[in-house]
Structure 1
Amino acid sequence: MVRGKRFFLARALPAVALCTWLAGSASMQAQAPTPLDAGTRKLAHDIFQQLIEINTTDSVGNVTTASKAMQQRLLDAGFSKDDMFLGGPNERKENLVVRYHGSGKKKPILFIGHLDVVEAKRSDWTTDPFQFVEKDGFYYGRGTQDMKESDAILVTTFIRLKQAGYVPDRDLILALTADEEGGKSNGVDWLVKHHRDLIDAEYVLNPDGGGTDLDHGKPVSVDIDATEKLYGDYQLSVTNPGGHSSLPVPDNAIYHLAGALTNLQHYQFPFELNAVTRAYFQKLSTLEQGQKAADLKAMLATPPDTAAIDRLSAQSPEWNSMMHTTCVATRLEAGHANNALPQLAQANVNCRILPGYTLEDIRQQLIHIFNDPKVTVRYVDDAGNVYEHAPDRKQLPPAAIHPEVMSAMEKLSASFWPGAPVIPTMATGASDGVYTMAAGLPTYAVSGIALETNDVRAHGQDERLPVEAYYRGVDFYYQLVKMLTSGE
């Protein structure tokens, strides 16, 4: 997940938080951001460059190479190999888990970051996607936004703390993992299933989400993803004996498939809010004016006004996605010859599912929407395997943000991005947090990166990150970790 998988607030909002999120405090005071010393800046630069220039795509890349490179960085900084674990289901997808020992006064904090990146073709880019290029005030390369910048920040933070002789009031655990972007070997899932003891923690910070939105350089909001939607792919299939195209029949596989997708196009999943999205919309209703403000209030009423929901959904795809499960056709394939009736027609439907519903719940709902026995609906996992039934996995309803996390974020944000409120949000995409949350580990997407909302290039051509945004993120995360573990 990254910034492209979460919504953007179109205007600055006062802090939105449930009252329970605001209890407690982190007593350490935030320091104003200052230029990094030359040694730290070089360390952070070199780690970032090293990660970008290791190809970690699923097709031809190697996550293990990146894991071992970061392991060596940490060994060179004084970490013991006894406090590291390197392993995974195959030789290309080994994950790195590192433990930084603290005083043990509190339970550990787990930091997760995926090392893999999406595919990138050199012919599509103006630079080599697997070369770390600095130009015009930006760092270019695949993973500069999603999410090798945050991996580099986490490794840099652990090294800086070690070099300073810092003793946190709890253990800090760093897990750098494989296959968040797809593939057969998701590292967080594998660690939860096979080495839960290595990553057990009070809560998890995941920098693959959240972050600060900028509008022409002005901070708009500092977001914490307190929950997220669940990702699911479904294969629609229609088979037919086929035949000569000169003898058309109404029982055409493509027509059945088209009818099913038309039904989906016109279907709206039920409206639903959770604690996070309701708090967000309640605050928004006090800031908007005119019809939009009236519609927000009507949407929040009991019972909600359906006409208001329809108007708000039409005005903003982001709001629509926060209110509903969404499913959309993303791929089509049919037929085997121009002069033959199709024997097979298939489509992929991609869904982003509200917390509380399982992947199988949505498969059954799609069958109901299509209402055609000729259309078979199967589940497709991240590795592309197709199953008759979907798992019963679901995204759990959001839990309250840990008070010390909320307090630290508010203090730090006031220093780093004055005037930008801290906003608990629901990511409309998905991340590896789905595995940690399902394992009972409260997970919050917290990033120190600030980006212009019109320059989100993750997964896209010429992915890039502003140079100074990166170094400010290095400073931010170092202060955040110290604030959460100072014991003051």
Structure 2
Amino acid sequence: MRCSAALSLLALCAFTSVLSPKYCSAQVDEQTRQLAHDVFQQLIEINTTDSVGNVTTASEAMQQRFLDAGFSKVDMYLGGPNDRKKNLVVCFKGTGQKKPILFIGHLDVVEARREDWTTDPFKFVEKDGFYYGRGTQDMKESDAILVTTFIRLKKEGYKPDRDLILALTADEEGGKSNGVDWLIKNQRNLIDAEYVVNPDGGGVDVQNGKPTNMDVDATEKLYGDYQLTATNPGGHSSLPVPDNAIYHIADALQRLQNYTFPFELNAITRAYFEKMSTIESGQTAEDMKAILGASPDKAAIQRLSENPEYNSIMHTTCVATRLSGGHANNALPQTAQANVNCRILPGHSLEETRQDLIQIFNDPKITVRYVDNSGDAFDTAPDRKALPPAALKPEVMQPLEAIVAKMWPGIPVIPTMATGASDGVFTNAAGMPTYGISGIALETNDVRAHGKDERVPIDSYYKGVDFYYQLVKGLGSE
């Protein structure tokens, strides 16, 4: 923080009664900045992909950092279903006046191929004002921030009025050993909490360098994978026939590409667009207002749907993500398959969406099977639906709004629906209300999570370090 900003902050804290002093003391000192840098680099350079990586290596590295910082081993748990997928749980002991708060962060990352990137995805690269590497946006930056925050508070001798629990986990991005699910089923007593804060969601939206709003994920879409299969007796490629398995899959995916699921709003997304209509301007603001009435304007829906984020908030979305077919270059394909990944609006089930896909494809030659988290395919899908939104607890929202007002003056805090899916699906289902809160500010047109050359602005990262330090103290000392 520059001197002028620091002096302004001190003046604000001294002369206003709006902000509590506990939201006015934090700055990222040089020692904290170095720790945050080193933890971040260490996590990025440990490959935690499902294919060849090792989450246990990252968990053990963070455990050692906590031990070095003075945490007792009896306040930590390292374990999981196998040697590669061990989770780390750390308990920061409080006075016990209130039930614990759980903070969750997944250590695994999606696959990344060196040939696709301009930098090595598993090297921590500083370039042009950004940190590059797989996980810099999803979500090793937040893992590093949480680790840094817990260590910083420990060194300060901080004593919260409740236990603060951190769970660093495996297989949120895929794989068969989801860490949050495993901990709930096998070590629930270690992570039982009044509510959960998940930095794998929310965050500050930035447009052309200007922060516009802080999103808080209060609900999320339902994740679902579906396997499309077409079969054929095959034959010699010199005798082509129209009944080609690959053609059937290609035609089905073309129909999916041209299909739009019905428009729908829920309480959270309706409130989101109501608030965003006061932030946006021109046609976009008018369109947002026009979709809120009893008879939503179809032209407004169409225009808003051209924005991928708004489209995903208003519709269930399904997209082809993998494709395979054939067994030889000189033979007609006997089998062709595709994976379709869906993000389903709350209120609609996995099986309902499978039936929707069957209707969209309208091809008896294609079977549509549900694929679970272990990669196994089934003829029917569960009737499971996304859970209703978590109630917005004042004890969460009030400290958050106070900190945002100080760090990003003038921007609103807006509850929204995550258009993806997170480990919050497990904690919400376990009766622990879960809030997606991130302190990272990103340009809305530079979201590279799961993509090539993933990166986070350096300044944004260290501001996120400051943000979470204040948030944890605000939540831990009501």
Instruction: Tell me the TM-score normalized by structure 1.
Output: 0.88
Work out the CA distance in 1 between the residues paired with 2:165 and 2:243: 58
Match of 1:234 in 2: 226
Work out the CA distance in 2 between the residues paired with 1:467 and 1:286: 30
Match of 1:203 in 2: 195
Name the amino acid aligned to 2:356. Q
Name the amino acid aligned to 1:171. D
| TM-aligned CA distance change 1:361 to 1:135, over 3 Å | same
Q: Is 1:169 matched with 2:158?
A: no
Work out the CA distance in 2 between the residues paired with 1:164 and 1:125: 40
Among candidates 328, 335, 342, match of residue 344 of structure 1: 335
Name the amino acid aligned to 1:31. C
Name the amino acid aligned to 2:438. S
Match of 2:430 in 1: 439
Among candidates 182, 207, 227, match of residue 215 of structure 1: 207
Among candidates 293, 297, 302, match of residue 301 of structure 1: 293
More displaced 10-residue stretch of structure 1: 364-373 or 438-447: 364-373
Q: Is 1:30 matched with 2:4?
A: no
Among candidates 349, 370, 383, match of residue 379 of structure 1: 370
Please give the residue correspondences for 1:6-21 in structure 2 after superposition, counting only pairs within 5 Å: none
Shift of 1:428: 1.0
- State the Cα RMSD in Å: 2.3
Shift of 1:123: 3.2
Work out the CA distance in 2 between the residues paired with 1:58 and 1:117: 8
| TM-aligned CA distance change 1:469 to 1:384, over 3 Å | same
Name the amino acid aligned to 2:357. L
| TM-aligned CA distance change 1:303 to 1:247, over 3 Å | same
Shift of 1:296: 3.5
Work out the CA distance in 2 between the residues paired with 1:416 and 1:122: 37
| TM-aligned CA distance change 1:333 to 1:194, over 3 Å | same
Among candidates 98, 105, 111, match of residue 119 of structure 1: 111
Match of 1:398 in 2: 389
Whether the 8 Å CA contact 1:33–1:472 is kept in 2: the answer is no
Work out the CA distance in 2 between the residues paired with 1:450 and 1:420: 12
Whether the 8 Å CA contact 1:233–1:348 is kept in 2: the answer is yes
Match of 1:80 in 2: 72
Structure 1: tracts of 5 or more residues without a match: 1-24
Please give the residue correspondences for 1:386-465 in structure 2 after superposition, counting only pairs within 5 Å: 386-465=377-456
Work out the CA distance in 2 between the residues paired with 1:106 and 1:330: 45
Whether the 8 Å CA contact 2:221–2:420 is kept in 1: the answer is yes
Work out the CA distance in 2 between the residues paired with 1:154 and 1:334: 44
Name the amino acid aligned to 2:324. E
| TM-aligned CA distance change 1:39 to 1:178, over 3 Å | same
Question: What SS does the corresponding residue of 2:415 show, helix, strand or coil?
Answer: strand
Name the amino acid aligned to 2:402. K
Shift of 1:38: 2.3
Question: What SS does the corresponding residue of 1:86 show, helix, strand or coil?
Answer: strand
| TM-aligned CA distance change 1:450 to 1:287, over 3 Å | closer
Shift of 1:286: 5.0
| TM-aligned CA distance change 1:127 to 1:240, over 3 Å | closer
Shift of 1:302: 1.9
Whether the 8 Å CA contact 1:101–1:172 is kept in 2: the answer is yes
Instruction: Tell me the TM-score normalized by structure 2.
Output: 0.90
Work out the CA distance in 2 between the residues paired with 1:41 and 1:310: 45
Match of 2:313 in 1: 322
User: Alignment identity in percent?
Assistant: 75
Work out the CA distance in 2 between the residues paired with 1:455 and 1:290: 23
Shift of 1:116: 1.0
Shift of 1:437: 1.5
| TM-aligned CA distance change 1:38 to 1:309, over 3 Å | closer
Match of 2:266 in 1: 274
More displaced 10-residue stretch of structure 1: 138-147 or 438-447: 138-147
Whether the 8 Å CA contact 1:110–1:173 is kept in 2: the answer is yes
Between the two structures, name the one with larger relative contact order (CA 8 Å, sep ≥ 6).
1
Match of 2:6 in 1: none
Work out the CA distance in 2 between the residues paired with 1:448 and 1:298: 32
Question: What SS does the corresponding residue of 1:171 show, helix, strand or coil?
Answer: strand
Shift of 1:306: 4.1
Whether the 8 Å CA contact 1:451–1:469 is kept in 2: the answer is yes
| TM-aligned CA distance change 1:311 to 1:107, over 3 Å | same
| TM-aligned CA distance change 1:169 to 1:39, over 3 Å | same
Name the amino acid aligned to 2:136. T
